[in-house]
A and B are shown apart, each in its own frame.
Chain A
Amino acid sequence: MTIQTITENKPQSDEWTSEASVTQPAIRMQNVDKWFGDFQALCDVTLDIHPGERVVICGPSGSGKSTLIRCVNRLERHQKGKIVVNGVELSDDVKKIEDVRRDVGMVFQGFNLFPHLTVLENCVLAPVWVKKTPKAEATDLAMNLLKKVRIPEQATKYPGQLSGGQQQRVAIARALCMSPKIMLFDEPTSALDPEMVKEVLDTMLALAEEGMTMMVVTHEMGFARQAANRVIFMDQGQVIETQEPEAFFSSPRHERTKEFLNRILT
């Protein structure tokens, strides 16, 4: 069963589904294969994500979740199959890669803020140089987004002066400053101290409520339940099963999914 059919079988009452089935998918992956040397990291992955959808990807470590979302903005190069993002097919064409990256924001496990720039400079750099937004306008937008992630008062500080949770919220604001159509989250809370996980998840939930298209690799099953339209379970480079969150947790179909859920939910 492909993902496409699952999406189409969704009840029509859900607003995004009816729209999504007519518009082009935000992300379309077809038979994607990816190797690191001899190791096959992705194995025949086929997947559509529609505008406005929030998809959570989970699975044991080494299952290819991170590789999967890193292929979406070409931080990893896939070797076989087709990846189309916002109608642009990813190839070795640098121009196209930059086009895709302009519309796809990414948040990393390790924050990856630029330590030599202030919070505000981190946020305005890409809009000013990539989108040629005037500096004043970019600064306004950045301050608004920093307010949204609730740290405008830290704008003039350097990343090293902030807590992990604050840094990750800056990273989210930095990505949003490019006004992306899609946001990728690669284990955004895994490097955080437990007491800081919630502030980042709350920020992500707020984003989800605004209808952002999101692809989230995470072990936070609470977030999956609250925000996701779909949960994808991966193992050994393959998409094992795709379900709505309720069904995913209550009645997983696949044996491997059950094992995984048993391990993380106890």
Chain B
Amino acid sequence: MTRHLLGCFGREKALPFKLFLERHPVLNRLIGSPLNAGLTLLALWFLFVSAPPFLEWAFLDAAILPATPANCADSDGACWSFVIAKARQILLGVYPFDLQWRPITVCIMILGLLAYSVHPQNWKSKLLYVWVIALATIFLLMAGGLFGLTAVPTSAWGGLPVTLILTVVAIGGAFPISIVLALSRRSEMVLIRILSTLFIELVRAVPLLSLLFVASIMLPIFLPEAFLPDKFVRALVALLLFASAYLAEVIRGGLQAIPRGQFEAADALGLSYYHKQRFIILPQAIQVVIPSLANTVIVMIKNTSLILVIGLFDMISAGRAALADPEWQSPAVETYLFVSLIFFMLSFSFARFADFLERRNASMQS
């Protein structure tokens, strides 16, 4: 206010530097006030202290090529040689070496389909069939046992394909279930409402770890061998149920944000419950909660790595197995950084996709 008045009376020339500082968009924030100046100094000091050693470790002193144990032993920096030499093992786990073209194909298929699916012009019912066929092929490729493909037990699966399959199937399957759960929880039919609430609250109240333990250890005690699905499938179902309970609550939040008038207008037009939800309420409800949906999905992508506790191999456990090689000096930090980078790429891509959806909706409707 004062600044504005000064400007009005043309007295800004009296204090040129101070005014220049106040009006400069960047400098004002960095050193505009004593507090900001102090924080800027602190941040600079921190960068000065931490950045050079990190850069030295990660790049200047790092052992990269040749990817041999000797190369790493000679250097003080990061041992990227290990990651390069073991990349295949970290990414594919203990899958039989000669058959690794199969999990590689699976990864390419899933990533390719995901890239195809994010384009709005491909959102047709055809896409669903494509995914169903693709998933059947993916399981066939991974498990084998048909069409002359050597059978590979799920205990030998590992790494990136496991992470991708779990993510896609658990979240893809959880989404429709969560919609049904969210609608049921708001249903006027008491029994349906109670059942849905019970399910959501029970699953939410339990740590994912215990759910996975139940799936892997408890179920075999209750169920006869013949009815017992494979351990991988059990873990998949546990993840799917967990994700659906969380997603259901997110979607319920969206449903509650829809004004009553939208329901009334749909009712007044004679739309059935199904059509009303499908065309009017759910599209708007989901649109409202895209940020929280993305949040939940990203948490779930990373939750898939918890399957290591029941003896299945995701990328982290595959990385740990690789570290056990006595020839190398166990460069754990480098390995986890590498795995983190892959998780980051998956999660960040999804975050960008969610962001794209938000901006698309915003630009369409205003």
Residue ranges of A at the interface with B (Cβ–Cβ < 8 Å): 73-75, 98, 101-102, 104-106, 108, 110, 112-117, 125-126, 129-130, 158, 160-161, 174-175, 178, 184
Query: Does the CB pair B366–A160 fall under 8 Å?
Result: yes
| Sample (9) of A-B pairs whose CB atoms are under 8 Å apart | A108-B264, A112-B259, A114-B262, A116-B284, A116-B365, A125-B269, A160-B366, A175-B268, A178-B269
CB within 8 Å for A125 and B279 given contacts A110-B261, A130-B269: yes
B265 and A108 contact, CB distance less than 8 A: yes
Indicate if B34 sits at the interface (CB-CB under 8 A). no
Stretch at the interface among B12-20, B59-67, B270-278, B305-313: B270-278
B287 an interface residue at 8 Å Cβ cutoff? Answer: yes
Q: A130, B262: Cβ atoms under 8 Å?
A: no
Question: Assuming the A-B contacts A112-B262, A114-B280, A160-B365, are A75 and B267 also in contact, with contact meaning beta carbons closer than 8 angstroms in the complex?
Answer: yes
A129 and B268 within 8 A (CB): no
Q: Report chain B residues within 8 Å CB of A129.
A: 271-272, 275, 279
CB distance from A24 to the nearest CB of B (A): 21
A190 to chain B, nearest CB (A): 14
A258 and B210 alpha carbons, distance in the complex (Å): 73
Instruction: Collect the chain A residues with CB atoms within 8 Å of residue B280's CB.
Output: 114, 125
Alpha-carbon gap, A184 to B366, bound state (A) = 29
Cα separation A89 to B288 with both chains bound (whole Å)? 38
- A-B contacts besides A106-B268, A112-B261, 19 pairs, CB < 8 Å: A73-B267, A98-B270, A101-B267, A101-B270, A106-B265, A108-B264, A112-B265, A114-B284, A115-B365, A116-B284, A125-B280, A129-B271, A129-B279, A130-B270, A130-B272, A160-B365, A160-B366, A178-B269, A178-B270
- 3 closest cross-chain pairs (CB), A and B: A112-B265, A101-B270, A126-B269
Residues of chain A with a CB closer than 8 A to B271's CB: 125-126, 129-130
B149 to chain A, nearest CB (A): 45
CB-based contact A75/B268 at 8 Å: yes
CB-CB contacts of B14-43 with A at 8 A, as 1s and 0s? Answer: 000000000000000000000000000000
**A112-B269 contact, Cβ under 8 Å, with A125-B279, A130-B275, A161-B366:** no
CA distance A13 to B275 in the complex (A): 46
Say whether A108 contacts B261, CB under 8 Å. yes
**Inter-subunit contact B268/A101 (CB<8 Å):** yes
Counting chain A CB atoms within 10 Å of each CB, which of B264, B266, B272, B280 scores highest? Answer: B264
> Which residue, B259, B268, B280, B364, has most C-beta atoms of chain A within 10 A?
B268
Task: Report whether B270 and A116 are in contact in the complex, using a CB–CB cutoff of 8 Å.
Answer: no
Distance to closest chain A CB from B243 (angstroms): 25
Kindly state whether residue B283 has any CB partner on chain A within 8 Å. Answer: yes
Q: How far is the CA of A207 from the CA of B287 in the complex (A)?
A: 36
CB pair B264 A75 closer than 8 Å? yes
Q: Which residue of B lies closest to A104 (CB)?
A: B268
Query: Contacts A114-B280, A116-B284, A161-B366; is A126 near B270 (CB within 8 Å)?
Result: yes
Chain A residues with CB under 8 Å of B261's CB are 108, 110, 112
> Contacts of B265 on A, CB cut-off 8 Å?
106, 108, 112-114
Closest Cβ neighbor of B283 among chain A residues: A116
Chain B proximity of A250: nearest CB distance (Å): 35
Q: Within 8 Å CB of B364, what residues of A?
A: 158
Name, among B264, B265, B361, B365, the residue most crowded by chain A CB atoms within 10 Å (CB to CB). B265
Distance from B164 Cβ to chain A, minimum over Cβ atoms (Å) = 32
B residues in contact with A160, CB < 8 Å: 365-366
* Residues of A close to B361: CB separation below 8 A: 116
What 1/0 flags go to B186-226 for Cβ under 8 Å of A?
A: 00000000000000000000000000000000000000000
Q: How far, in Å, is B146 (CB) from chain A's closest CB?
A: 42
A175: chain B residues within 8 A (beta carbon): 268-269
Known: A110-B261, A125-B279, A158-B364. A115 touches B268 (CB 8 A): no
Name which residue of chain A comes closest to B278, CB basis.
Answer: A129
Bound-state Cα–Cα, A178 to B283, Å: 23
Q: How far is the CA of A81 from the CA of B126 in the complex (A)?
A: 51
A178 to B265, CA, bound (A): 13
**How many angstroms from the CA of A104 to the CA of B267 in the assembled complex?**
11
* Chain A residues near B259 (CB-CB < 8 A): 112
CB distance from A206 to the nearest CB of B (A): 21
Give Cα A178 to B270, complex, Å: 9
- CB-CB under 8 A from A114, the residues of chain B are 262, 265-266, 279-280, 284
Name the residue in A105, A112, A117, A130 with the highest tally of chain B Cβ atoms < 10 Å from its Cβ: A112
Residues of A within 8 A of B266 (CB): 114
| Smallest CB separation, A100 vs chain B (Å) | 8
Interface contact A98-B264, CB-CB below 8 Å: no
